[in-house]
Structure 1
């Protein structure tokens, strides 16, 4: 594969779960990587830890780095966070600040990819969910992402842009604040009991490696001015995950439902269509549920020193 040392990709939120996996994927192709926010990774040629809303500082730094491509992952992401204002400050105003800084920096950009979320669809009335499906956001995180999308549209004429709507995904290193990572970690610790919320929820679940591959291909695709689902096209329930983990770990904990974990605004099912994604970046191989959970289980065992 051709090396890309002549290209620099600026990734916001690089040290987060998705960013770290994406950085690993892109370094394999020789991309020069600049990271914005959080701790510095070994792969970074340039790094800045700054508030997304510090537009002037961002513009000055971006002007020095001169990225050719951008992937904006930084966001306040957990849907149970209680400070509603923070969602809008980070996800909406922070994105506007970044785009303004990119414009002010004078960087010659070949592609800008902005991460939104499939949570904007809420409790969709029809499955599979396509990009033209009605937006029915059910929490501040989802509303902030939808507001961000509305704001980003005005930038379509200024930058060659794509906006992604990732559905649920998981993989090694994900925080236990997310339910699939919580389940795998509990099995790795061989907990006797697993306490969860709604068990009858079903999610379109991808592997983070699949998501990283999608982002990597988007950097060099021809499409722009589009909203694109990132999804696997399969729906997986929590009970299916527990069943598969029981086979992997060789035991089954008692599963208890805690009413305090049951959300009144729970999204019952998110099941997307990857058709447009494949039109944009080509067909992607979907890792099996077993492959994803096995990699997470082994990562947890290694982290525990087992």
Structure 2
């Protein structure tokens, strides 16, 4: 029998890529997604159609914050691992609709932790974000850095998720690995993300908004490289309270719980201007640039320290920005031209 994984947010950008990889690797996947209309639902439906082409994929369309949904599902299916990716995303949208972040990111994660408490999986893997580093200025960001100065409500809810998961890990012995993602991009990306918006605007002959006058740096991470890291961490030995004597340098393993947080990034920050140049080169078309001040909640730079990830799972693929952007542009042209 194939191993069973429960993936929340399975029709989302990262969730779709992870589910497709797990299915290709022979897993049975339970994919839960609410199919909310934060962005184009038809894009989610198209991702879902691809996943439903696998015999070992099961779709559950439901809101994870609905009491009992996750508990009943885990009781019936008994997944070996749980990968929690479902969340209300977006730094800027959290200024407009903060309640949706409370419901999805806080209440939804609580429901998942309660379900895992009643029906413990062998390993839980839960998504966080580089945004939790907030106002930290010393880089690269390491997992052991203090993270108390979040600059958006989105980031605050994800930091709360880390704390909630740690408490359940300590109290109930749940092995939990948290991921901190760094600016993920690639084919099937969300329409609210910079790459999608830039390509769409350039093709339509409209100017693009360049925040902080282009003085931004991001640790852009190609989605398939990210998924490779996640899959390797799925199969890595889950955090154990008795493994403190096996710590690697800079390990974030909790002293009181089988809980760890791991950065997943390329560890190669790129100037926003260079990112735009890569888009222009891939499209063969120059962008009209509308330079603007930095937006509330944004940080000027991100940069992942990935030494812990490398120590745990080895060196990951490192898709170049040029290749990754070109792959997205090809996908966009095939689907939206």
TM over 0.5: yes
Instruction: Could you tell me which runs of 5 or more consecutive residues in structure 1 were left unpaired when the two chains were aligned.
Output: none
| 1:247 equivalenced with 2:281 (yes/no) | yes
Range with greater deviation from structure 2 (248-257 or 117-126): 248-257
Specify the alignment match of 1:165 in structure 2. Answer: 180
1:138 corresponds to which of 151, 154, 177:
151
2:291 corresponds to which of 246, 257, 267:
257
> Secondary structure at 1:10's aligned position in 2?
strand
**TM score, norm. by length of structure 1:** 0.91
**TM score, norm. by length of structure 2:** 0.83
2:15 corresponds to which of 14, 19, 31:
19
Q: What is the alpha-carbon distance in structure 1 between the residues aligned to residue 336 and residue 103 of structure 2?
A: 36
Shift of 1:285: 1.3
**8 Å CA contact retained: 1:13, 1:74:** yes
Q: What is the alpha-carbon distance in structure 1 between the residues aligned to residue 29 and residue 113 of structure 2?
A: 18
Specify the alignment match of 2:269 in structure 1. Answer: 235
| 1:126 equivalenced with 2:126 (yes/no) | no
Specify the alignment match of 2:319 in structure 1. Answer: 287
Specify the alignment match of 2:211 in structure 1. Answer: 197
Q: Name the Cα RMSD after superposition.
A: 1.7
**8 Å CA contact retained: 1:167, 1:272:** yes
Task: Give matches, 1:37-116, under 5 Å.
Answer: 37=33, 38=35, 40=48, 41-42=51-52, 43=54, 45-81=57-93, 82-104=96-118, 106=119, 109-116=121-128
Shift of 1:181: 2.3
**8 Å CA contact retained: 1:128, 1:271:** yes
Range with greater deviation from structure 2 (189-198 or 29-38): 189-198
Instruction: Could you tell me which runs of 5 or more consecutive residues in structure 2 were left unpaired when the two chains were aligned.
Output: 36-44, 240-258
Measured at CA, do residues 150 and 192 of structure 1 come closer, stay the same or move farther in structure 2, by a change above 3 Å? closer
Q: What is the alpha-carbon distance in structure 2 between the residues aligned to residue 297 and residue 57 of structure 1?
A: 38
Range with greater deviation from structure 2 (232-241 or 195-204): 195-204
Q: How many residues align?
A: 296
Range with greater deviation from structure 2 (249-258 or 225-234): 249-258
| 1:213 equivalenced with 2:247 (yes/no) | no
> Secondary structure at 1:91's aligned position in 2?
helix
**8 Å CA contact retained: 1:124, 1:270:** no
Q: What is the alpha-carbon distance in structure 2 between the residues aligned to residue 219 and residue 143 of structure 1?
A: 26
> Secondary structure at 1:269's aligned position in 2?
coil
Measured at CA, do residues 304 and 85 of structure 1 come closer, stay the same or move farther in structure 2, by a change above 3 Å? closer
